[in-house]
Structure formats: C-alpha cells, structure tokens
Structure 1
Amino acid sequence: MLEAMLTPAQRALRDEVRDLVKWVPRQLILDMDDDRVRYPRGYVAEAARRRLLGLRFPTEYGGRGLGWVDEIVALEEVGVLGTSLACLYSLPSIVGEAIVRFGSPEQKARWLPAILSGRLTVAEALTEPRGGSDFFGTTTRARREGDVYVLDGQKRFVVGAEGADLFLVYARTDPEARPHEGLSAFIVERSEAGSELRVEHVYGLMGTRGGGTGRLTFRGARVPATNLIGPENGAAAVFYQMMIPERMTSAAGALGMARAALEIAARYADRRKAFGQRIRS
C-alpha cells in the first residue's frame, strides 16, 4: 500500500508486522519448502504473542478492534514470506469471522481468545473431492443424534490441516432441501473427534509446502450440537460472510508476494550483465 495513504497508526502497525517478518528464520522457509517442516506452529505462536492475529476482532477476545484497511496493511507485509505463511497468518481471520458473526456469546468466549492467543490453531474445511467452487454441492453429511451430530465425508486441500486444533466444517444436514438451504457449519475440535477424524498429509504443493495442507476424512465423527455455528441449515449465510476475509486476505497476501518478487527481480537485473552491461540498462 502506498506510503502516502497510510495513517501514522497504520505505519506503526506495518512496522510491527515487518518486525515479525524479520523474525522468521530463513532456514524455516527452506525447511518448509523441503517438507522437513510441515506445520510451523512456532510461527503462529509468535504472531499471536505479538497480538497480530485477528486484528479486526474485538479487544475483549484478544483482537485490536481494527478495520479492514489495517488488516490489509498487515497481510501485505506477511505476504512477502510466501503463500504458506501468509495463509496460516490469515486463517484466524477467516475462521474467526464465522465465530464473531454467527457464534453464540458462549462460543465466542470459548474459542476466540484461545485462537487469537495462539493456544488453538485453526483451519477451514470447505473443498471436497467433487469440487471446491461448487460449495453448495457439498456431500459431507451431518446427521443429528440427540445432542451430537455425526459427520461422514471428506474435505480436501485444507490449508493448515496437519497442525490445526479446530476446523470450520460445512456439512449437509438436510439432504431433501434445496442445495443452499440444507447445509450447516460446525466447529470440529480435533481432540474430541478422535480416530473418527483422519488427517492426512498428501499435498506437497510447489510454492505452498510447509503450510500443513491436507485431507480430512470423517467416519462417524461425533460433534456436540453446541458446536453448531449459526442455525441448522443456515451455513449459506456463514459461507457468504466468510468469503469476504477468504478473498480479501488472499488478495492482500498476493500484493506482498508480488512486491517481494519484483524486488528480487530488480536486484538481479542490477547485478546480471549481458553484452558488457547490466540488463536493467
């Protein structure tokens, strides 16, 4: 973001985030790309220690009560670290959006402080084997049995899956309803789901290794009804709201990555010679 557009407070925030970026060891990024590190939990914990997660969320839960412009400023700086670290940084904003907007007071008090302090890490489980953009074609099922829902199905390309403690999961609760009227959203706690939730590392994706991207398989995973986010069959509203931070954070991180790539190219062009002169000439 152009310097002239920033307020003094936003410049100070930018400098805070730049300090975080400088803290990240170069070797960590190399180890992530080489698949020696599959989930950098210490990085998430450090961002939390500096109170840089979930900047937009209320201070009572550990956020800073800032706006979208402030978060964009932060995300652009984090973006220079690459896709994996930028995505992991943005996940509390994405998953937290669902809790802040649609969670009950008890759910907010239970999960938001733990997420923003780094005690619990999160991931969003949306894409399925048959499609990602076709959200309303979700086939993962959740059936009510007393005070629990029983989940069966699979989610793919879940960023942060390997290290996440909590998953925001969308599942079909009314197979007879129209596609957009039969889905519900849940917070699935890894520790409670047990062996009925299987997390697999299967995606060594070029440029995004080390971010813990994996596949989730639910086989009779029992989730307390109190973990339902919003009303039953009301996940369409959650999804539409969640797409705001989903797309905004992706775009902001991409700005930082583009800036870093341009800076590297400019330095190379200043150093590389051909036909007796620097190629930037």
Structure 2
Amino acid sequence: MSDGKIYLAATPIGDPGDATPRLRDLLGRADVIAAEDTRRLLNLASRLDLTATGKILAFHDHNENERIEELLDAARSGLTVLVVSDAGMPTVSDPGYRLVREAHDQGVPVTVIPGASAVLTALAISGLATDRFSFEGFAPRKDGDRNKVFTELVGEERTMVFFDSPHRIGDTLAAMVLYFGDDREAAVCRELTKTYEEVKRGPLGELAEWAKDGLRGEITIVVSGADEDDASAEDYVAEVLTLANMGMRLKSAAAYISERTGVRKKELYEAAMARRDEE
C-alpha cells in the first residue's frame, strides 16, 4: 500500500467542465472523501459521470474539529484522503485550514490539487488592479459588524474581494458607498462560469442602485483600493452632511469621517460649512 496523504482539491465553482483531471482521478479512487456537503459531492460526481467509491464523510464548520483526528488517522494508516468544499478551494472561506495546520504539526503529508477559485476568477474578470489584492471573505451580516470592518478597510490600497449573499447585496453595496464613496470603482460578479454569468462594473453608487432590490445567484464583489493621494475634503463633504442630517453634530460628523479617511477634521468641517452656506 502506498503512503497515505491528504489532498485538498478545488472543485468547479459553476461549470462542471472545469473539473481538473487530477480531481476526477481522486474522486474515483480516494479511500476517504471529506466533503462540506455530501449531497453536493454526489451531485458533482454524477455530473462528471464518476462513482465515488471511497468512504464519504461530512466535513463542515460544525464538525471540523471532531473530524480532524479521524482524517489524520486515515492518512497515517496509508489511506488516500480527499478533502473538497462545495465549490472552489477548501480552506478559502471554507473548512479545512485547521486540518492542514494539524497535518503539518503532526507530520502527515498534505498537498493541493489546484483548480477553480471564485476569488481569482472574479478578480481577473473585474477589470480592476490585480497586482495587489486582499480577500475579505463574506461581508458581515449585522450592521455594526459590517460598519466596523468597512471602517478598518477605508484606507486599504489593495483591490478588495468579498463574497456576499444575494439577499444582502443591496445593503452591502449601500454601506460600501457610505464608507468607500460612491465614485469608488467596483465590479459585482454573479453566477461565475454558469449559464447566466453576469459582471456589472462601475462606480459603487451606480452598483448600489442597480442591486438595491437584491440579486440572484452566488455573488463576488471586487472593489478598487483607496487612492490616498487623491483624497480631499471635497470628496467626503456629502458623507459629513449626510451624518449631520441624521442628527449627528457637524463637528462630530467631521471627526468621524476624518478618522475613517485620514482627511483632516478641520478641512472636512470647513468644507461642510461652506457647502451648507451654498445651499
């Protein structure tokens, strides 16, 4: 029997034709297959005209810790262990990284079968800068958590990639407008590699209006990074006044936007006062 090993394998994010030959091979011969959703695994195997003959185990966020030793023991005993998520690469916003960490710590061989990635696919098709980027996972559901995350990312100069729910996309983009500005370039990528693939690119303000009633399908958002050299008080006057109109004192609103953007509080306050006088 050959030495056991753990294989992390990327699965198609939409089109089953993107399954790699190595994934097809492992699906047919792995002794143990740890899948985020066993039903989706069997569906993928069926679409690929394959039969998964190995032992299939559920391996998801709620049981990852309990499964780790079982999978490590299987590899140590000489078995081939395949780990797959619902779509894309395991461990990337999906279960698996704790297993990989333990495999390294315990000397159990682990390797990767590369393939489809929603993050890289969206980044490539977005038309935004790709030389430096950050993956931010799913935008938080709750307003407070989302606002905290976006506040921390206001000055991020790298292109940012987010996953999002079709039911929350409108709220997420509206929040991005408030924190990143309505002119910040972005792309909303929907149903990548599937029949109804759609990529909508433009300023965040336009995208927020377009998606305000929600969208269908799996969604990835790509947002251009901040350009601090071009930032000025005039760029954020509307946001200061919006907060003031919601009941916040003008000086407090200027201080809040200053902390978020790096633009001087005094400049923001004076610009907001001047804009008020004009109106």
Please give the range of the TM-score, normalised by the shorter of the 2 chains: under 0.3
Of the two structures, which has the highest relative contact order with CA contacts closer than 8 Å and spacing of 6 or more?
Answer: 1
- TM-score, normalised to structure 1, is 0.27
